[in-house]
């Protein structure tokens, strides 16, 4: 029989107290919540290793994923990072001050600007994604590749069902 985890103990205790309820959702989603906390800690440690803040990674990775020439409009960055316009302006200012991004006038629209990844920004985000993947790989060591594919598919279905 597999080992019990804390969720098993919580569900068993609730089952004794409220045998009239189905605790199936708690068994699944409490584990997802606990996993999210472990993932959050692992991600913070990976970003610390790379010298990048999580919010910096969000912006830098959006630019890196855009491909050559690694630039996006502030509007596109807003859509990809789900933050307000004021927050994005502040983030771009801070990243520019660190030399990780640069701004330039959009040649297609002289009133607009483009935010581009600098060589330093590219090096920082490349190091951060490598550290992040190593940390996430460590979390998944007890799960086979096939099981990871199954879990990924189930989580995708759950998330799509929520409209995301």
What is the C-alpha end-to-end distance of the chain, expressed in Å?
Answer: 36
Q: Are 57 and 80 in contact (CB under 8 A)?
A: no
pLDDT in tens, 107-151: 888 788 999 999 999 999 999 999 999 999 999 999 999 999 999
Distance CA 115, CA 113 (A): 7
pTM for the model? 0.83
Residue 116 phi, psi dihedral angles, 5° rounding? -125, 150
The C-alpha atoms of residue 126 and residue 51 are separated, in whole angstroms, by: 12
Percent of the chain residues topping a pLDDT of 70: 99
Q: Residue 7 — very low, low, confident or very high, per pLDDT cuts 50/70/90?
A: very high
User: Which pLDDT score, from 0 to 100, does residue 102 have?
Assistant: 97
Dihedral of CA 122/35/157/164: which sign? negative
């Amino acid at each position: 029989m597999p080992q019990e985890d804390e969720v098993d103990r919580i569900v068993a205790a609730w089952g004794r107290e409220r045998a009239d309820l189905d605790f199936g959702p708690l068994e699944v989603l409490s584990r997802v919540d606990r996993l999210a906390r472990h993932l959050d800690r692992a991600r913070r440690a990976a970003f610390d290793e790379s010298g990048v803040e999580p919010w910096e990674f969000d912006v830098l990775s959006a630019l890196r994923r855009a491909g050559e020439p690694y630039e996006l409009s502030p509007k596109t960055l807003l859509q990809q990072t789900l933050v307000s316009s004021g927050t994005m302006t502040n983030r771009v200012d801070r990243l520019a001050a660190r030399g990780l991004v640069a701004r330039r006038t959009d040649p297609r629209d002289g009133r607009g600007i483009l935010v581009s990844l600098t060589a330093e920004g590219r090096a920082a985000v490349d190091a951060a994604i490598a550290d992040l993947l190593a940390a996430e790989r460590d979390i998944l060591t007890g799960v086979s590749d096939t099981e990871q594919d199954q879990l990924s598919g189930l989580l995708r279905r759950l998330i799509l069902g929520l409209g995301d």
